[in-house]
A and B are shown apart, each in its own frame.
Chain A
C-alpha cells in the first residue's frame, strides 16, 4: 500500500511540471507587461526597467522557467508583485477559507445527494424518484453564481434573514455553502442513484434476501457498500472542483478565498501568485484524487488485494485453484 502511494506521488511530479510549464508559458507569452499594471502610469521607464531586472523578467524564457522550478522545488514560490509578500504566505492566508467552505459544501452535498439518491434507486420510477431526478438535473443545470445571486435576492434582500457577502460569522457561511453544496448534491444524487440501481440488481442481493434479511438492511449492508466506489469518486471530484472552481462563487459572495485571490492576480498579471496558486491547487486536487483511490481499497477488498506487494501476497489462491480446475 505504502509502495503504491509512493508510486502515485512520483507519478504526480511530471504532471506538476506540466502544470507549471502550462501556466508559466501562458503568463509569459501573454501581451502586456506586469510592471505596467503594477507600477501604474506614473512610473518612469527607469522604475519599470528596475522592476524587470529585479524580477528577472529580462531573462530568456527557459532561464526564467528553470529558475522558477528550482525555487519551487525548494518550497519557494516567489513573492507577489503587488504585496511583496511570499506567495506561499498569501496562499496559506486564503486557503483555509476556501477549504472550510469546500468541506461545508461537501457535507451538504453528501447528506442531500446520497440520501435522495438511495431513496430514488430503491423506489425507482416512483413519484419521489421522478421529482428528485428532475430537481437534480435542474440543479446541475443552474450556473452556481446565478443560484447564489437568486439566494441572495431571496434570503438577504427579500426576507432579510442572512447576510449577502463577507465571511466573518457562521451566518455568512450558510448561503455560499448551500449554493455550492446543492449544486454538487445534484451530481452526487445522480451518481448514487445509478450505482445503487446497478447494485440492487446483483445476484448477491437475492442471496441476502434468501437468508431472511430485512430489505432495508440488505440495501445498506449489501447494496450501498458495493455502490460507494463511484459515489466516492464523484464526491472527491466535486471536492477538488470546489477548491478551485468555486472561484466565481467566491466573487459572488465576496469571500476572501483562494479562487478570488488567483482571479485578481490574473487580472493584474501578478505572475508569481498565479503560478503558485494554480500549482498549489493542482497539487491539492491530485492529492485528493490519491486519497479517493486509497479509500477505494478500504471499501473494496478486490482493489485492496491488487495493492498488496507481491511478496506479502498469500500464494494467489484464485490463480492456483483456477489452474487446478483448468479454467
Chain B
C-alpha cells in the first residue's frame, strides 16, 4: 500500500445531460507503484481519457461528474482536496500529455511562453530563468532551444507533441498521464515519441500511466497492463502474465485482432459487434453482447473481480476456460 504512488478505488464518473446519463467510468480500481509504468488499454470510448482527467479532477463539469470513489495519491485522497490544492498538484506532481498535439497548444502564444507558464506556476523563479529552463526542456525533448519564440503553427505534429511533453515534464512531475500520445501522429514519428517518453521516464524516475489502444506499445514500455472495457477494468496484470496467459475473453479477442508475423494466420480474428452505448449499459458483464462464451449468468448481477494468480485480476465468470 505505501509503495503505491496512486491507488484508485471504485472511481465512477458520469456525464449527465438533460437527455441521458452517460456512464463513462464505472467503479474502476487501479494501483500504480512508484516508478512503475502502467498501460491502460481499451477501445475508443471505453473511458480511458475520462479516467485520466478524473485523476487531475479536470472532467468537464457540467456535464461530467465524479459520482463516487477515491483517488489516493501519495496516500491522500485527491477527491477531497480543495481546488487550490489541486492546482498545486496539476502540472507539478501530476502532469498529462494530451492526445492531439495539433490542438493542445495555444496558437497565439509562443511555445516558450507555454512551457514557462507551467514552470512559473510551480517554481519561485524569474521569468528569465523560467525561459532558460523552457529552452533546456526543449533541448531535452529534441528541439533547438532558440525556437522558443516560435508559435505552434511553425512546428510539425511530431514537434508539437514534443513540446506538449516538455510542458508536462517541465516541473519534474512524480506521475505522468500520457493519453494516447502517439495516435494523432505518423507511424514513423510514433516510435520516436514513445522512445522519448520512455527515456525521459527512466531519466526522471517518473511513474507513468500510458493510455493507448496499441498493445505493441504497451509491451514495449509498460510493467503492468489494465484492460478497460465499457468503463470497467476487465483484466489487470503484469505484462508477461497478460501476454502469455490472457484470461478475459475481451483480452483474448484483442490479441486475436492483432496481426502476428511469427505465426502465419490466414486472417485476423476481429471482435464482432460494437461497444455498448455507455448511456445505456447492459446489466451484468458489459462485454456479454460480443462475447463468444456469454451465458445467461453473464447478463445479471455484478461480475466479481477474481485474482486467478498473484497480481492477475480478471472480471469474468468463465475462468475455467
Contacts and interface: CB of A to CB of B under 8 A. Distances in A.
Direct A–B contact in the complex, CB atoms closer than 8 angstroms? yes
Interface of A: 202-204, 206-214, 221-222, 225-226, 299-302, 305, 314, 317-318, 321-322, 324-327
Which 7 residue pairs of A and B lie closest in terms of their CB atoms, listed nearest first?
Answer: A321-B156, A212-B90, A211-B91, A212-B91, A203-B103, A301-B151, A211-B118
Contact of A208 (B56, B117, B122): B117
A312 to B, nearest CB: 14
A237 B198 CA distance: 52
B98 interface: yes
Contacts of A314: 154
B89 interface: yes
B153 A305 contact: yes
Contacts of A326: 186, 188
Q: Which of A203, A212, A324, A326 has the most CB of B within 10 A?
A: A212
Given A301-B151, A325-B157, A326-B188, A226 B89 contact: no
A327 B186 contact: yes
B88 A212 contact: yes
A210 B108 contact: no
Contacts of A211: 90-91, 117-118, 121, 167
A273 B314 CA distance: 87
A317 B157 contact: no
Contacts of A209: 58, 90
A222 B150 CA distance: 17
Bin the interface of chain B by size: 35 or more
Query: Secondary structure of the A side of the interface?
Result: helix
B105 interface: yes
A80 B51 CA distance: 75
A302 B118 contact: no
Given A206-B58, A207-B105, A318 B155 contact: yes
Contacts of A299: 108
A209 B56 CA distance: 9
A224 B97 CA distance: 23
A213 B121 contact: yes
A210 B96 contact: yes
29 contacts: A202-B103, A203-B98, A203-B104, A207-B105, A207-B114, A207-B164, A207-B167, A208-B106, A210-B56, A211-B91, A212-B87, A212-B88, A213-B87, A213-B117, A221-B109, A222-B109, A225-B109, A300-B107, A300-B108, A302-B107, A302-B151, A305-B151, A314-B154, A321-B156, A321-B158, A321-B159, A325-B156, A325-B188, A327-B157
A321 B156 CA distance: 6
A322 B121 CA distance: 33
Given A212-B89, A226-B106, 19 more contacts: A204-B105, A207-B105, A207-B167, A210-B58, A210-B95, A211-B121, A212-B121, A213-B91, A222-B106, A226-B107, A301-B151, A301-B153, A305-B151, A305-B153, A317-B150, A318-B155, A318-B156, A322-B156, A326-B188
A74 B118 CA distance: 58
Contacts of A317: 150, 154-156
A321 B157 CA distance: 9
Interface in B67-117: 87-92, 95-96, 98, 100, 103-110, 114, 117
A253 B238 CA distance: 81
A203 B98 CA distance: 9
Nearest to A222: B106
A305 B107 CA distance: 12
B215 interface: no
Contacts of B164: 207
A213 to B, nearest CB: 6
Given A214-B87, A321-B159, A326-B186, A301 B107 contact: yes
Contacts of A214: 87
A217 to B, nearest CB: 9
B189 interface: yes
A314 B155 CA distance: 12
B58 to A, nearest CB: 6
A211 B98 CA distance: 12
A159 B264 CA distance: 93
A324 B66 CA distance: 43
Interface in B44-70: 53, 56, 58
Given A212-B118, A213-B121, A302-B153, A207 B104 contact: yes
Contacts of A322: 156
Contacts of A325: 156-158, 186, 188-189
A301 B149 CA distance: 11
A120 to B, nearest CB: 16
Contacts of A210: 56, 58, 90-91, 95-96, 98, 168
A207 B98 contact: yes
Nearest to A323: B156
Interface in B254-268: none
Contacts of B108: 225-226, 299-301
B99 to A, nearest CB: 8
Contacts of B56: 210
A324 B158 CA distance: 11
A225 B110 CA distance: 13
Nearest to B115: A211
A82 to B, nearest CB: 52
Nearest to B156: A321
Interface string B155-187: 111110000100110000000000000000010
Contacts of B96: 210
A91 B88 CA distance: 61
Interface in B100-145: 100, 103-110, 114, 117-118, 121-122
Nearest to B186: A325
A321 B155 contact: yes
A206 B153 CA distance: 19
A317 B153 CA distance: 9
Interface string B17-52: 000000000000000000000000000000000000
